[in-house]
Structure 1
């Protein structure tokens, strides 16, 4: 059960309306790395969590994320207060209102449908979706995803701070940004409180493949480091050594029942290509300048405009 405290977790002081800035702030309201996505991610994880410590932590942080949604939404509401009033009361002339909607940087959806107030959209007006919640129900997976989500949100807040000179907004965003850091620390501690947390899940990796580093991008720029060299790795530079990795012939096969095998054979025979055929195709018949080499130039294919005869003809024409 939730109870709402009418005081914000952090005071919002906006110096002046700025609808364009409000549009950018929407990214942390209804965007992929925004506060609503974080709250829903941790809340649903917490409901399904069996460990009492992780459950308590997830529900604590989920609830705090809702308070952060309230803060960023309040910032947006203050930044768009003038636009919202003008659209609602219609005191400006039609042309002025039309210009107002376009010049603020808000989308028509935000201005007309939502009246300039905060909506569950990102900065491009794309509606929020539950697809942003990427939980898998395995704590070692979800905690790593949560750590990454907090890190991404921290970077978005950094960028929002950098594009405003409003001291009150900077102050509030700095608080929100720093809470992302604190949450990341909590998730890190929870992850490493799980013994044998890598690799994720119950099943162990196959030992001979777990130590293999395959250098598949070769050429200038090749670099070595602890991520691909040293005692932990068996580095493979000759790709023929691991193609295929299991030592088989590298083909795909399946054992079909007799009735399916018979039908599959018939289908293969019906759709078999003839490597000796060279039919005239639509590309040959409709070929124009720049089509490259086509079959039977006298059958409709136009000459290449960069060919010597074509260029000579063009020169004479001038």
Structure 2
């Protein structure tokens, strides 16, 4: 059961309306890393959690995220308060009202359809979706995802702070940003309170594969560091060593029933390519400068190349 306290968790003081800023801040209302997504992520995790300590933690933070949703929504509402009144009362001239509505950039949908109030959309007008909730039901996996979510939200708030000079808005955003830090700390403590929290899940990894670092991107820019070198890693620079990793031949195979074998053979025969065929194609027939070599030089490919080369030299 929930009870609502009409006082905000943090006082919102907006200096003046600013629809453009509102269209940016609404990202944290209905966006992928916003407060509603966080609240729903943690609530759903809490409902399925079997550990009483983690369940309590998740419910606490989920409920606080709803209070943050209220703070963000209040900021958006205050920033849009002027245009909300103007569009509702039609008290401005048509041209001035059009300018006011479009001043918000991506928020014109918000202003037109939602009357300037906070809507469950992101800064580009995309509606909120439950796809933002990426819980997997494993505490070590979900806590890591929560840590990453809090980190992303912190960065978004930081960027929002950098694009406004409204002192009241800056102050409220700073509070919200800092609470993301506190939540990350709590989630990290919860994660490392689980003994043997890595790798996620129950099944252990296969040691030969878990210890291998495969240097698949080679050439200029190769770097050595603790992520790929040292006693923790069996580094593989010769890719032939791991092609394939197992003792097989590296090809895909399947055991087919006899009726499937016959159908596969028929399909292969019907769709077989003739490596000796080199007939003129549509690309050959329509070849012009820059088309490259064509199947039949009589089609003019060589001539076109010569003409294109000559034109390039004249330039």
Note the aligned Cα RMSD (angstroms): 1.6
> Take 2:248 and 2:104, find their aligned partners in 1: how far apart are those partners?
62
1:275 aligned partner: 275
1:136 aligns with 2:136: yes
1:45 equivalent in structure 2: 45
Deviations 1:27-80 (A, max 9, x none): 111111000000000000111111111111111110100000000000000000
Contact 2:19 2:107 in 1 (8 A): no
Residue equivalent to 2:36:
36
Matches within 5 A, 1:175-194: 175-194=175-194
Please give the secondary structure, in 2, of the residue aligned with 1:247.
coil
| 1:286–1:300 Cα contact (<8 Å) kept | no
SS in 2 for 1:303: helix
The residue that corresponds to 2:295 in the other structure is 295
Is residue 110–residue 125 contact of structure 1 (8 Å, CA) maintained in 2? yes
Report if aligned partners of 2:22, 2:104 keep a CA contact under 8 Å in 1: no
CA distance in 1, matches of 2:107, 2:69: 21
Cα distance in 2 for partners of 1:291, 1:146 equals: 52
Q: Aligned partners of 1:274, 1:92: CA distance in 2, in Å?
A: 73
Distance in 2 between the 1:284 and 1:10 partners?
Answer: 70
- In structure 1, the gaps of 5 or more residues are none
Partner of 2:251: 251
Q: CA deviation at 1:311?
A: 6.7
Assess, with a 3 A threshold, how the Cα gap between structure 1 residues 311 and 104 changes in structure 2: closer, same or farther. Answer: closer
How does 1:12-27 map onto structure 2 within 5 Å?
12-27=12-27
Whole-Å separation in 2 of the counterparts to 1:165 and 1:107? 20
Contact 2:35 2:69 in 1 (8 A): yes
The count of aligned residue pairs is 313
- 1:63-74 pair list within 5 angstroms: 63-74=63-74
Note the C-alpha offset of 1:103.
2.5
The equivalent residue for 1:101 is: 101
SS in 1 for 2:10: coil
Q: Deviations over 1:96-155 (max 9, x none)?
A: 111222233243311211112111111111111111100001111000000000011001
Q: Does 1:78 align with 2:81?
A: no
Residues 1:121 and 2:121 are matched in the alignment: yes
Answer yes or no: is the 8 Å Cα contact 1:22–1:80 preserved in 2: yes
Offset of 1:307 from its aligned partner?
2.6
Instruction: Check conservation: 1:8, 1:71, Cα contact below 8 A.
Output: yes
| 1:160 and 2:164 correspond | no
Q: Distance in 1 between matches of 2:235 and 2:106?
A: 52
Q: TM-score scaled by structure 2?
A: 0.96
**Structure 2: gaps (5+ residues):** none
**SS of aligned partner of 1:173:** helix
TM-score (norm. length: structure 1): 0.95
